[in-house]
Amino acid sequence: MARHTVAALKTLIADELAKGLIYEGQIIGSPDQFVEGVCHVNGQITVNPSVNVVDTLIHELLHRRFPQWSEVFVRLETARVMRQMSDKDIALTYSKYKRRAKRKTKPVRLRHS
């Protein structure tokens, strides 16, 4: 199988995105596995927003609770927590996040060091 250049892959990805048939919604997998996305046989793609949001949320909450922890350690602990969460746990955390989070109208700009 021939490898594509990153530039070629970016073009192909943009073409696929332009086709549409992309949906956002909860995906229920097996009890011990969370599913981030699925490409159906008919070409429809479903993306589960809760998985990445919950992963990111846990990561940032750990940073806030343990500011002394390194980035690498926070990543490891986040992955450890996520592996123990069921789809139901993720959905519940995502639901709590949606109720608590306030929308920002302007992008947050990070300073480059």
Q: What is the pTM of this model?
A: 0.69
DSSP string, 60-72: HHHHHH-TTS-HH
| pLDDT score of 59 | 92
Domain that holds residue 75: 18-100
Please state the domain count of the chain.
1
Does residue 84 form part of some domain?
yes
Mean pLDDT confidence for 23-37:
76
Domain contains 78 = yes
For the segment 62-91, the average pLDDT, to the nearest whole number, is: 90
Position 105 in a domain? no
Residue 74 located in a structural domain:
yes
Q: Is the pLDDT of residue 49 over 60?
A: yes
- Per cent of the chain over pLDDT 90 is 27
Residue 67's pLDDT is 92
More confident residue, 54 or 34: 54
CA distances from 25 to 19, 36, 45, 94 (A): 19, 10, 10, 12
- Is 1 a domain residue? no
Question: Which residues 6+ apart lie within 8 Å of 35 measured at CB?
Answer: 27, 28, 29, 48, 51, 87
**Any domain includes 113:** no
- Model confidence at 10, pLDDT cuts 50, 70, 90, reads confident
Give the pLDDT score at 42. Answer: 92
**Is position 77 within any domain?**
yes
Q: Does 5 fall in a domain?
A: no
Cα–Cα–Cα angle for 95, 101, 103, nearest 5°?
125
- The pLDDT, as a whole number, for residue 36 is 80
